[in-house]
């Protein structure tokens, strides 16, 4: 088989860029130019070959794609409209520039969709870290109300000091109990040393434009509030101010620019509805629908060969769980890490129950190290570079899964970047909505969760404070 060099090992020619203009409506992909702006290639061959797809599933995906395009053109898909137009106000960029200039530490408070996308974007740079000392402050994400974790956060805050810490509080509903608790604790911490005006310069709240506890608390204290769209759920809000503010912090963005995540996502959106052929999202959704028909509530394993992709995996886990887990349908999302989970789960993956689909995420390591093979005794085949060994493990895992008849696909990033993350997340959002349409599920909302939230309030009302 011919191959093309992208990074590390050779890459089969059937990998195609996510924003390629068309994917042939057949059982296999064709090679396309890898000059995709976001730098992502996708190998979907084993994903489609082993899913058991039939013509009816491809036809269903084509109809779903047509319906999705019609709804998008009519403004009926707010998450795509938000991606296309960007936030109505650019005030978030002013705040990002101020926080980048004034802070050594930014604390981003939120839960679920209010946090995962932003955390993924901050980890998208080549350093694989949310802290780049030369250009940006450290960004830490706080959502846990575990007392021990909160105590550790307090220690971190004390290390940096009130004058060098900025905070972002995010809750779409404005009623998230964890966010409200952190709001109280952090403003109390500020109040020990700073005047009210100084606190206002270091804090911002993101919530929808309707009355809520968070908005009331913020406005009473003069804390700036940015509106988040009420019609875009948290897991779909990556390209609203919820995800774009943390993405912009520390970046060299002028008042006329936008974060790179939007450019990557728009490259996918611009080619999501080809006049001819099949988009990658539609082909993937067809395969997933066929597999769901065969195995019911199957397992969707996301295996990342890059530790910095862990927040991206967490975001995708929520997207799958909350969008598809309805009416006794859906996939059970599982996250795994290479090479660690090769030693703990590979036996199950290759020889266990067949109801599992696999997504491999790959990107080149920011650094490569030489393996000093002294004293003598290593076999001749043992590599001299860690990157070669790392890539061999990923290649072998993908090949073994395919050889065992498991549906497996690989997304390969030519380099870690916000544009690449934006493109991949846009692809996965569109794919998930298409799959929900095929399965007859409403991908928006999470009605089953609301009961638990209400029970928390009921329990607290019975507790003496």
Sort 37 into a burial class: Cβ within 10 Å, 0-12 / 13-18 / 19+. middle
SS (H, E, C) 253-301: CCCCCCCHHHHHHHHHHCCCCCCCCECHHHHHHHHHHHHHHHHCCCEEE
The token duo for 106 is: 């930014």
Cβ atoms within 10 Å of 274's Cβ, excluding its own: 16
Identify which of 117, 223, 113 has the alpha carbon closest to the alpha carbon of residue 166.
223
Q: What contacts 172, CB < 8 A, 6 or more positions away?
A: 113, 114, 207, 208, 228, 230, 233, 234, 237, 242
Catalytic pick among 256, 275, 343, 465:
343
Furthest-apart CA pair in the chain: how many Å?
71
Query: Is omega for the bond preceding 183 within 30 degrees of 0, making it cis?
Result: no
Catalytic pick among 31, 178, 295, 453:
453
Active-site residue flag, 322: yes
Catalytic pick among 182, 306, 322, 342:
322
Residue 311 Cα to chain centre, angstroms:
6
Determine contact, residues 357/291, Cβ cutoff 8 Å. Answer: yes
**Alpha-carbon dihedral sign for residues 399, 401, 405, 409:** negative
Query: Is omega for the bond preceding 280 within 30 degrees of 0, making it cis?
Result: no
Active site residues: 322, 343, 453
């Amino acid at each position: 088989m011919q191959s093309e060099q992208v990074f590390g090992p050779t890459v089969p020619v059937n990998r195609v860029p996510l924003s390629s203009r068309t994917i042939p409506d057949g059982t296999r992909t064709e090679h396309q130019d890898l000059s995709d702006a976001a730098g992502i290639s996708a190998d979907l061959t084993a994903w489609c070959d082993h899913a058991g797809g039939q013509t009816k599933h491809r036809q269903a995906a084509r109809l779903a794609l047509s319906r999705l395009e019609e709804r998008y053109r009519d403004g009926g898909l707010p998450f795509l409209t938000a991606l296309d137009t960007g936030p109505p106000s650019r005030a978030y960029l002013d705040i990002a520039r101020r926080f980048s200039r004034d802070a050594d530490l930014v604390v981003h408070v939120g839960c679920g969709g209010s946090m995962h996308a932003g955390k993924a974007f901050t980890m998208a740079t080549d350093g694989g870290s949310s802290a780049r000392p030369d250009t940006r402050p450290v960004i830490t994400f706080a959502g846990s109300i575990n007392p021990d974790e909160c105590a550790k956060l307090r220690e971190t805050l004390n290390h940096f000091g009130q004058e060098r810490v900025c905070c972002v509080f995010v809750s779409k509903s404005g009623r998230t109990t964890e966010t409200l608790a952190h709001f109280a604790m952090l403003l109390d911490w500020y109040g020990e040393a700073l005047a009210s005006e100084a606190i206002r310069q270091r804090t911002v709240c993101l919530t929808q434009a309707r009355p809520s506890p968070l908005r009331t608390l913020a406005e009473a204290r003069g804390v700036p509030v940015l509106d988040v769209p009420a019609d875009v759920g948290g897991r779909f809000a990556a390209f609203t101010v919820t995800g774009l503010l943390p993405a912009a912090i520390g970046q060299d963005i002028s008042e006329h620019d936008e974060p790179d995540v939007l450019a990557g996502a728009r490259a996918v959106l611009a080619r999501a509805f080809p006049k001819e052929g099949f988009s990658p999202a539609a082909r993937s959704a067809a395969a997933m629908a066929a597999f769901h028909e065969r195995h019911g509530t199957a397992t969707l394993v996301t295996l990342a060969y890059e530790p910095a992709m862990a927040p991206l995996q967490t975001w995708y886990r929520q997207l799958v769980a909350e969008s598809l887990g309805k009416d006794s349908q859906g996939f059970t999302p599982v996250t795994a890490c290479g090479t660690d989970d090769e030693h703990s789960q590979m036996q199950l993956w290759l020889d266990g129950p067949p109801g599992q689909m696999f997504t491999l995420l790959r990107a080149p390591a920011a650094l490569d190290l030489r393996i000093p093979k002294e004293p003598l005794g290593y076999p001749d085949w043992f590599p001299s570079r860690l990157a070669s060994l790392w890539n061999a493990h990923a290649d072998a895992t993908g090949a073994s899964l395919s050889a065992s008849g498991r549906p497996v696909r690989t997304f390969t990033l030519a380099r870690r970047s916000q544009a690449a993350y934006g493109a991949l997340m846009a692809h996965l959002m569109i794919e998930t909505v298409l799959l929900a349409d095929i399965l007859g599920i409403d991908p928006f909302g999470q009605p089953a969760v609301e009961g638990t939230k209400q029970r928390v309030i009921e329990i607290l009302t019975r507790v003496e404070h």
